[in-house]
Chains A and B, each alone.
Chain A
């Protein structure tokens, strides 16, 4: 399957998930956005060798995925897709930081610890982003962004891009498939054909933009894109945000797994 097809499929799947209905879906999108940003910021604020303190943060994507109906298989698959990149990026650390750390009877280079930290950060932040969209949706997020002061031109841009994303992915996919069926043996587009291929798609896209504009004018468009998304930041949203922020602060300041482990070890004695 081409990356175009899988991308379109995954985006479509996530889009469908975001249309679901759960108590989580019904919370104010600003609450979910701000909580996820705090989540990412808390994780980023850890020193590079942090591994244990990062683990409790997994509660956020896991709980949201479970309550919001996001299949764990889907999440796992998307994480596996980014893992090679994460490994590539973090791989320098074990090579460069060789200060030995004892691990039972063995010793391991300090770089492996920070490598593990990098991997954990990838897994956590990517899951956080995916789960955010799955329970909020792009439209919900755009509504939140607008209320939070993001300029109208950018919010409009996000909405129109998203609206036509699937149309363009589909059109590009069809063109690519037609081309592939005429390319015996040689699977990929040659570089000299890339200009005309993309140029054709561009011309068609430009034509589409003109037709959309025409349709807008025919319905009285005067330049301003009006959409009203009334949001209500209710008690549930407030509790959600406050609860998670407290947890993040706790996880950031206390090494919960270490404490838990010490408790278990002491209790076992």
Chain B
């Protein structure tokens, strides 16, 4: 399939208190792509993500999800198609039990209880948390919470997964598990993160944001090899590419 799933055209946005945000963002993402969004703090990553499910609406320019222009009255529909996972899993797990949280989305979609049960079981199975249905979220580990947050969104069968800093705070094992999980998903993925090594592992395409604009958009490998570009955006090469015998550059940055 090659029709576009997410299109942003000259997207501009500014927060009410004046802090800058997006200054003309344009890109196209097709079905099945895995795209990393990287940039310094304040570059606009989170702001861009919030435009993808209608939390924020553009001041000018447009966002299209699946060919449809994203306007205020299309928001409920868009939220079915776009599954968003935020930085702090505690903010997304607010129901008494894990099963309740995973069921929250499907129930809000108006699905019958039997189908909801099935989706909950399938989603938990997918993320490897079957058996923890009755567990209250405050008794899950950090890694389990991340996967639980994923499950809450998977149960809605979205076309697109948008993730904001998915690996933050995870220990190496949990992080590796998460990467493995995400690689197994065939959904279109957009991942905003500082974890450049995750992007290297997961995303064949990367968009670099700087001061609300797109500085680069292309193959992950190529972008991460461009040291000058990275430095000008307050970024570095992923750690696994530093000190690399092929690239020949020392690990210590300078």
Which residues of A does B touch, CB under 8 Å? 15-16, 19, 139, 142, 159-160, 162-164, 166-167, 208, 211-212, 214-222, 226-228
Most buried by B among A220, A227, A228: A220
Inter-chain contact A139/B139, CB cutoff 8 Å: no
Which residues of B does A touch, CB under 8 Å? 53, 55, 76, 79-80, 84, 86, 88, 90-92, 94-97, 100, 104-105, 107-109, 113, 136-139, 152-153, 156
Inter-chain contact A227/B100, CB cutoff 8 Å: yes
- Starting from the known contacts A219-B104, A220-B108, 4 additional A-B residue pairs (CB-CB under 8 Å) come to A19-B136, A167-B90, A212-B94, A215-B86
Inter-chain contact B138/A218, CB cutoff 8 Å: no
Inter-chain contact A211/B88, CB cutoff 8 Å: yes
Docked Cα-Cα span, A91 to B58, in Å, equals: 68
Docked Cα-Cα span, A220 to B138, in Å, equals: 23
Inter-chain contacts of A217 with B (CB < 8 A): 55, 79
Inter-chain contact B108/A221, CB cutoff 8 Å: yes
Q: Which of B80, B91, B139 has a CB less than 8 Å from the CB of A215?
A: B91
Inter-chain contact B94/A139, CB cutoff 8 Å: no
Give the residue name and chain of the A residue nearest to B50 (CB).
A214
Q: Which of A164, A212, A218 has a CB less than 8 Å from the CB of B79?
A: A218
Give the residue name and chain of the A residue nearest to B162 (CB).
A218
Most buried by B among A163, A215, A216: A215
The verdict on A216 contacting B138 (CB below 8 Å), with A221-B108, A222-B108, A228-B113 known, is no
The verdict on A219 contacting B139 (CB below 8 Å), with A163-B94, A227-B96 known, is no
Docked Cα-Cα span, A211 to B164, in Å, equals: 13
Give the residue name and chain of the A residue nearest to B156 (CB).
A219
Give the residue name and chain of the B residue nearest to A215 (CB).
B92
